[in-house]
Structure 1
Amino acid sequence: MPKITFIGAGSCVFTKTLVGDILQFPELADSEIALMDIDPDRLEAAEILAHKVAEALNVKPKIIATTDRRAALDVANYVICTIQVGGYEPCTVIDFEIPKKYGLKQTIADTLGIGGIMRGLRTIPVLISICRDMEELCPDAWLLNYSNPMAINTGAILQQTKIKAVGLCHGIQGAHGWLARCLGVPREELAFIAAGTNHCAWFIKLEHKGEDMYPRLRQLVEEGAEFVKQDPVRFEMLRRFGYYGGESSEHMAEYVPYFIRKGREDLIERFSIPIDEYIRRCIRQNEAWDEQYRKFKDRNEPIGEIRRSSEYGSYIIHSCETGEPCVVYGNVLNRNHITNLPNGACVEIPCLVDRNGVQGVVVGDMPVQCAAITMTNVNVHLMTQKASVTRKREDVYRAAMLDPLTATNLTMDEIVAMCDELIEAHGDYLPKFE
């Protein structure tokens, strides 16, 4: 039976979801599930939830919980990473409030922009430390990374360690289902190929029973279909660039320079840009946590129906263990998979999974305009990854100067001052930058 280790298991709802996905496969039902977190209370809740899931599915995995990371990693076959370094307070608040002083507004700030850069710089050292333990304790294990910023973090792991890793997100699955609803066709009948980088991947093929669905989608958008109001930024990008992409409108708005601009409140209103959206989500989640925690820890509280999610993690483990192939969308290093993006960048592409592990599929050239937009994101990823190695402030400045949203709204002097203030405010959550 495989040993499947969760690092950051205190992300209780997500851990419950992934454990449920894994244990629904009969071939994985007797797996060893090792839960690890630095927060003992959250870890206890996650352990109780995992047992509830097993009982609801009538399976008997071995479940252990520990705050000892090395013990959790020892002889693991798969490691699922869901950590967040610095939490909502202080780090997420810092990522929003200091840029706001300089007139830089953000929506989510977990993938790109100055928020994504700082989140990456404080997370990469922890991920590399985990990988160093893996190189010693479970060198053949697969690392399934769910920690954002996805492309920055996963790229750093693959560039700086020997560990086999793939970054996983549910953005592609969500967008695929949404497009099927917009087009009025069954999801399982809507064929697609997406490629790019995490949260900035483009649907370069969209077909229903062999028919290209882009003409129909563009027609609906031009006619002002009701669904456009629910996703205004991504459909505006479709109108202007010819293809649909991105994780959501609130995400896409801060990856390009067109929607959040200093002194242009009209754009924010026109495209319904939810400034500070991630802050509001965190506040809601924190307010609900005490009641959730009580229910999680109550062994008599029913867990409800266990349904399979759209997350790819369990499918990867199942295919690696059984050899039964599947296709997922994963974040891997570009090795001529996308031929008009640089090799060594972290790209999100279709991947074949079987006993050989996760193998990226060659996509070829993306449409030039899609590759060009994606490259503006890749520039930031590569520069942030470099800064995580050099530990030089000038590389942090350059990453921010290359960011489309930051460069659109701030001068270079303002960017340097903002980065310095952010580095100081993060304190020991960041390594020392010279």
Structure 2
Amino acid sequence: MSRPRIAFVGAGSTVFAKNLLGDILSFPELAGADIRLFDINQERLDVTGQVARRVAQTVGANPTVLSTTERQRALDGADFVINMIQVGGFEPATVTDFEIPRQFGLRQTIADTLGIGGIMRGLRTVPVLADISRDMERVCPHALHLNYVNPMAMNIWGLAKLSPRIATVGLCHSVQGTASELAHDLGLPAHEIDYLCAGINHMAFYLKFEHQGVDLYPRLLEIAGQGKAPEWNRVRYEMLQRVGYFVTESSEHFSEYTPYFIKRDRPDLIDRFNVPLDEYPRRCVNQIAGWEELRTKLQNPGEPLEVKPSVEYGSLIIHSMVTGQPRVVYGNVMNSPVLPGGEAGHGKLISNLPDECCVEVPCLVDRQGIQPTRIGRIPPQLAALMQTNINVQALTVEALIAGKREHIYHAAMLDPHTSAELDLDQIWALTDALLREHGDFIPQQLQVAD
């Protein structure tokens, strides 16, 4: 694989694509890669094409770059497919996921992984990912699919059901990102931290967290007990004191995966734990502004384009599979893995989680691809907490696979945050309202008639 063929699906996510391109093209072995950029938005695609060429120039790489609005053309013969789509976009879909629940008194922070917003995002995203995978089965059946799209667990689970022949790994930066944050809190170099982490995406926990063989949990518990947690991270430090382990995803994410922190009749909780309601729409507005700023910079050929390493695993996986250099990354895969070709794997990766769920575990990567690590049992309180989220994921995926709309309501009624705030009549009415508003973004058999 002297000239790897790498397809970016959803390449209009220009800032994210820029980071991944910088990572990939900075490796000498990947500097001549065949880059294919696909998006349905021609304007954004054009900007990303300019970015790709400027990144290559900045790092001294010489790739070929193809920009196309024809998906199969981008995928044809690809070795790696990097997926970063957002079905429905910020407007109308994300705005809908926040505005309609707010009318029912249900507030959210991120709404891309769980909760009623995560359910809706899964319903509109999994079918599109499955359609992409069917294209891959035709034109690049041996490619590795690197999925960055949320809701991660629902997406990987749905793809395992609908397109098991395509090798897929879900990638997130929460494990390595949180490790760096904790190292900063402890005043230690991040590269000196050793850890073992496992669970489900956005709710994995550090089973070990050490520095030069010394357990760091007593120091983290001391920070929590003395009230010295960073104000933006109070939720996670609180959970550390309650369950004994630190969770990977941010406090704003985690606050809506449980029934404890967001309550409309308890504004004191919002203040005490510094929960940023409606955080994701604010981020989207800032990301749009960042895209506009980047487009403006590209119009000035004299303006330098900064390229610096990101914390994403994508380039490391590609480099390891091309060169054979072994690495360990954290990936999202099925708990009972299905091997490429559809054969069943052997045994569960996390033994006290269900066979059919998506887990996040360390994975060895080399020329043989992604090889997940078997963890065994995790602490029972962590498995129980994860199960409350897995229930929602399972029912959302089942609604899509079986085409049964009633499972969407079941997912919502079992969601920890939604069920803590709304009664059953409200949950049914909210779900109806969201399904109507999303319209054709939702598979036809799951839609609600006007």
With normalisation by structure 1, the TM-score equals 0.97
Report what 1:78 is aligned to: 80
1:223 correspondence with 2:245: no
Give the deviation of 1:287 after TM superposition. Answer: 4.0
Q: Residue 387 of structure 1 aligns with which residue?
A: 399
CA-based RMSD of the aligned residues comes to 1.2
Give 3-state SS (helix, strand or coil) of 2:22's partner.
helix
The residue that corresponds to 2:182 in the other structure is: 179
What's 2:168 paired with? 165
Instruction: Give, in whole Å, the separation in 2 of the partners of 1:263 and 1:230.
Output: 22
1:31-430 correspondence runs (5 A): 31-161=33-163, 162-225=165-228, 227-304=229-306, 306-335=307-336, 336-430=348-442
Distance 2:436 2:299 in 1: 38
AA of the residue aligned to 1:291: E
Cα 1:126–1:298 change in 2 (3 A) is farther
Q: In structure 1, how many angstroms separate the alpha carbons of the residues matched to 2:129 and 2:430?
A: 26
Q: Percent identity?
A: 52
Tell me the CA shift for residue 401 of structure 1. 1.1
Which moved further from structure 2: 404-413 or 73-82?
Answer: 404-413
Tell me the SS of whatever aligns to 2:396. helix
Q: 1: distance between equivalents of 2:286 and 2:311?
A: 24
1:215-250 per-residue CA deviation (whole Å, 9 max, x = no partner) reads 12112221222x342310000000111111031010
Distance 2:440 2:62 in 1: 42
Runs of 5+ consecutive residues of structure 1 not aligned to the other structure = none
| Stretches of structure 2 lacking an aligned partner (at least 5 in a row) | 337-347
User: Mean alpha-carbon deviation: is it higher for 228-237 or for 66-75?
Assistant: 228-237
Counterpart code for 2:369: G
How far apart, in 2, do the equivalents of 1:421 and 1:230 lie? 33
Q: How far, CA to CA, are the matches of 1:204 and 1:394 in structure 2?
A: 37
1:195 and 1:349 in contact (8 A); partners too: yes
Distance of 1:213 and 1:269 partners within structure 2: 29
Is the Cα–Cα contact under 8 Å of residues 172 and 329 in structure 1 kept in the other structure?
A: yes
Residue in 2 that maps onto 1:15: 17
CA–CA distance in 1 between the matches of 2:324 and 2:387?
Answer: 35
Deviation at 1:2, TM superposition (A): 1.0
Distance 2:387 2:109 in 1: 21
For the Cα contact (< 8 Å) 1:166–1:331, is it kept in 2?
Answer: yes
Contact 1:44/1:297 (CA < 8 Å) preserved in 2? no
Cα distance in 2 for partners of 1:167, 1:253 equals: 22
Kept in 1: contact 2:119–2:411 (CA 8 A): yes
Distance of 1:48 and 1:166 partners within structure 2: 28
Q: How many residues align?
A: 432
CA distance in 1, matches of 2:143, 2:299: 31
Cα deviation 1:226-285 (Å, max 9, x = unaligned): x34231000000011111103101000000110012311111111111110111122233
Distance 2:19 2:299 in 1: 16
Deviation at 1:288, TM superposition (A): 4.6
What residue identity is the alignment partner of 2:308?
R
SS of residue matched to 1:341: coil
For 1:428 and 1:300, how far apart are their aligned partners in 2?
44
